[in-house]
Amino acid sequence: MKKSIAVLISALLALSLCACGDKTYKDGTYTARSSEYVNEDQGSDEGNGYGEVEITIKDGKISACTFRTYEIDGTPKDENYGKEGGEIKNKDYYQRAQRANAACENYAKQLVAKNSIDEVDAVTGATINFNEFKEAVQSALKSAEE
């Protein structure tokens, strides 16, 4: 009996030492917004905006995530992002804008699959979105810390 208790205590101590550096999160849904990105190139507003993330924690793990980006004025960056006056006037710019927009879903899926922002890989051509995503996720997870 004493040996069983000693083994149990040793096992519990080992587990607690392993989990010591890990953060635990409260179940719930958490929303956060990144700071605004403003392009420093004079006369260019390419990429300007911010991102918002919504993360659901279930059983202490990330079970769902959405990430959306917005223009500074709050207009969603959606299928119209990169158009001018509702039309595609610069095909290259529109395609780049849409690739960056598609990366948002990719980032959210990676976060759920890997359950760690440190494991999410940036997508080429969507670095601004990645930085906004990372900032918003870190803020949301901070709110969820136990």
- Provide the domain limits for residue 103: 24-144
The predicted model gives 10-25 an average pLDDT of 46
Number of domains in the chain: 1
What is the predicted pLDDT for the residue at 39?
86
Q: Output the domain CATH number for residue 76.
A: 3.90.1010.20
Is 12 part of any domain?
no
The predicted model gives 1-5 an average pLDDT of 45
Cα–Cα distance measured from residue 100 to residue 127, given in angstroms and rounded to the nearest whole number: 8
Helix (H, G, I), strand (E, B) or coil at 105: helix
Is 14 part of any domain?
no
What is the predicted pLDDT for the residue at 102?
94
Task: State the burial class of residue 19 (Cβ atoms within 10 Å of its Cβ: 0-12, 13-18, 19+).
Answer: exposed
- Is the Cα torsion angle 16, 18, 23, 26 positive or negative in sign? negative
Cα–Cα distance measured from residue 130 to residue 11, given in angstroms and rounded to the nearest whole number: 40
pLDDT tens digits along 20-48: 236 789 999 999 999 999 988 867 777 89
Is 6 part of any domain?
no
pLDDT tens digits along 71-127: 999 999 999 999 999 999 999 999 999 999 999 999 999 999 999 999 999 999 899
Is 111 part of any domain?
yes
What is the predicted pLDDT for the residue at 22?
65
Q: What strand order describes the sheet that includes 50-58? A: 28-33, 50-58, 61-70
